[in-house]
Amino acid sequence: MQLDRALDAYLRHVTIERGLSAHTIAAYRRDLDGYRSWLDEQGIDDTAQVTAAVVDRFVAERAASEPPPAATSLARLQSSVRGWHRFLAREGIETDDPSGRLRPPKAPRRLPKALTIEQVERLLAAPSPEEPLGIRDRALLELLYATGARVSEAVGLDVDDLAHGDVLRLRGKGSKERIVPVGSYARAAVDAYLTRVRPGLAAKGRASAKLFLGARGAPLSRQSAWLVIREAAERAHITAEVSPHTLRHSFATHLLQGGADVRVVQELLGHSSVATTQIYTHVSVDALRDVYATSHPRAR
């Protein structure tokens, strides 16, 4: 099959049948567009011409490029290529999967960086309670920390998603929905935003069901939410790196440190596998080890 047709067929498959998120599909498209361009340069215009040696050569060239790609980027690229060829073989478009022997590089295990509880409290208190956007920002930050929501999930919330009082409906990766509790602090902050600020913001733009709105009334973007977090960190004089995922990491870590079961945290985070959640248990073990080393008289 011609490369363009084969690639379109695969992207339709992951979009419609697998229901992957727009961000994941965009990443697949970027990776596979680069792969297809490389195949064009090799004089290959049909998927039947792709052999295991061709795939190996492509991966080797990418791994040796300057600057060298991160292990995670190379692993994602190999996953994209492998997924495409596996699809073509499974659908009977091609007889063989030339990517079958690919083994992605092992990415270094990186522990999530969580803030301390005191740092989180400073971060949440940073937005001005006297300014409309400060009230909105406080509601956003409180909600992120209270629920462990991804930033994309938070900005994707509709007002109706809060209709059940002390729980919230989140839409995660692959359009999967989950229900999470909302603490009293977050609920109070969101209620203040809904009654005092959101009506005024909504009047400035077109009617939108989204919970969080920007200064001109349009739905708040992920980039704008990232700026809210960064500015709050600066106001709170937090020198540690604070990213859009920081509050999610802190949510999980603090729950585990407080005695929550890892499978409960898995459900709250929306992880499909408990193995993904278990990385946070290492953070808690490290914290316990540090406390033991500094507190026990015979630890050293």
Active site residues: 150, 173, 245, 248, 271, 280
3-state DSSP assignment of residue 169: strand
Spatial contact of 76 and 102, defined as CB atoms under 8 Å apart: no
Select from 163, 132, 161, 136 the least CA-distant residue to 229.
Answer: 136
CA atoms 183, 189, 195, 197: torsion sign? negative
Spatial contact of 62 and 99, defined as CB atoms under 8 Å apart: no
Q: Which residues contact 240 (CB under 8 A, 6 or more apart)?
A: 113, 115, 119
Own/partner pairs, 215-223, CB within 8 angstroms, 24+ separation:
215/133, 219/155, 220/140, 220/155, 221/155, 222/151, 222/152, 222/155
Alpha-carbon Rg for the chain, nearest whole angstrom, is: 23
Looking up tokens 């603490």 gives 183
Q: Which residues contact 134 (CB under 8 A, 6 or more apart)?
A: 127, 128
Alpha carbon 184 to its chain centroid, in Å, reads 25
Task: For residues 190 and 211, give the distance between their C-alpha atoms in angstroms, rounded to a whole number.
Answer: 9
Spatial contact of 261 and 234, defined as CB atoms under 8 Å apart: no
3-state DSSP assignment of residue 173: helix
